[in-house]
Amino acid sequence: MFQYIMDVYNKIIQALKSPKTLASGPNTLSELLEQFALPPTPPPTKEVVIKTYQIKETIAAVEIDLLKMDPALEYRGGQMWYDKDGNKYFDFVPCVVRPEVLYCSYGKN
**Residues 20-42, mean pLDDT to the nearest whole number:** 70
Q: Which distant-in-sequence residues (6+ apart) come within 8 Å of 77 by Cβ?
A: 92, 93, 94, 95
Residue type, 61: A
Alpha carbon distance 68, 71 (integer Å): 8
Asked if residue 44 has pLDDT above 80, the reply is yes
What's the chain's Rg over C-alpha atoms? 31
For residue 51, the model assigns a pLDDT of 95
At 12, the pLDDT band (50, 70, 90 cuts) reads confident
Mean pLDDT value across the chain: 82
Contact call for residues 73 and 102 (beta carbons, < 8 A) = yes
Give me the DSSP letters along 65-101: HHHHHSPPEEEEEEEEEE-TT--EEEEEEEEEE-HHH
Domain boundaries, the chain: 27-69, 71-109
